Amino acid sequence: MAEDVPALTVVRDVQSLRRRISALRAAGKTIGFVPTMGAIHAGHLSLVDRAKALADAVIVSIFVNPTQFGPDEDLASYPRKDEEDWEVLSAAGIDLLFMPDADEMYPEGFQTDVRVPEVSAGLCGAARPGHFDGVATVVTKLLLQVLPDYAVFGEKDFQQLAVIRRLVIDLNIPVDIVGAPTVRESDGLALSSRNAYLTEEEREIAPALHRTLTTVANDLAQGEDSAGCCEAAVAALEAAGFSAVDYVEVRDAESLAANPASGRPRRVLAAAHLGKARLIDNVPVP
């Protein structure tokens, strides 16, 4: 790093975070915010770029939120790369890195829950009970801690984005939620911290998820029937080597309602297991 560039500051408590943000506000800066669980990859960095284009100062958080993991999920093994993340985010030119620990986010006596029941039902909400309650609660807290002008989230987690858009409206949180497109490997696999779980052989199979969703989207655009396309997609994923397919579904791209009315924008979404990884992806119907 050049000597005249100050090192990226990490804050770990809400009080210090607020002090730093007050200073940025006092200097007249607008704030863009990118919440993450770390193991930073090019998908996260695309959100940082978007935030930089929108706002004067960019804050990233890294918090592996325990309340959004189920009891049999990968909380303990979720990749943690604090030092590498700091280096990559320093190089990306962000202004502040917020890395609270679980006690800072959930102090003794914590009991408040934010739930967005309709948007959270079905899709990943069916396979991961309570997951979106954990997401909604932690994102509400992060947004209230940072109070940014813009918060940028990936379309990669499409249902999560819909949950967050809903809660911000419902709770009158004064922030613009910005959705950013999914960054992919050249073979179509969506970048994800969980791709690290894939063996070499599984990594070869993994792009079948995006390929299959693209086929469904194109077939739907040709007027084919949604139930038939989704059934064929589940069979294609199983034949490709996915061990279990949680769902392949077509939903309204805005409300996420099932059976979108004709003329409405549609999205094809899927989740499937491959070895230790549970991969999710989604594409628009053209």
Q: Using an 8 Å Cβ cutoff, are 41 and 17 in contact? A: no
Closest to ligand AMP by CB, 49 or 56: 49
Q: In the bound complex, what is the minimum distance in angstroms from residue 43's beta carbon to ligand AMP?
A: 2
* Total residues in contact with ligand AMP, by rule CB under 6 A: 17
Q: How far is CA 132 from CA 51, 198, 202, in A?
A: 24, 25, 27
List CB contacts of 212: < 8 A, sequence separation 6 or more. 233, 236, 237, 240, 248, 270
**Binding to ligand AMP (CB under 6 A): which residues in 115-144?**
none
- Name which position in 85, 157, 219, 281 contacts ligand AMP (CB under 6 A): 157
Q: Using an 8 Å Cβ cutoff, are 27 and 17 in contact? A: no
192 binds ligand AMP (CB under 6 A): yes
For ligand AMP, what does the binding mask look like between residues 29 and 68, x meaning CB under 6 A?
-------xx-----xx-xx---------------------
- Name which position in 33, 78, 132, 153 contacts ligand AMP (CB under 6 A): 153
Selected range binding ligand AMP among 71-79, 139-147, 183-191, 269-277, rule: CB under 6 A: 183-191
Which runs of consecutive H residues, i.e. helices, occur in the chain? 14-26, 42-54, 82-91, 102-105, 117-120, 124-127, 131-146, 158-170, 200-205, 208-221, 226-240
Closest to ligand AMP by CB, 36 or 212: 36
182 binds ligand AMP (CB under 6 A): yes
Burial of 164 (0-12, 13-18, 19+ CB in 10 A): buried
Q: Using an 8 Å Cβ cutoff, are 140 and 165 in contact? A: no
Q: In the bound complex, what is the minimum distance in angstroms from residue 116's beta carbon to ligand AMP?
A: 16
Q: Is 44 in the active site?
A: yes
Q: Which residues are catalytic?
A: 44
**Residues forming the site for ligand AMP (CB under 6 A):** 36-37, 43-44, 46-47, 153-154, 156-157, 180, 182-183, 190-193
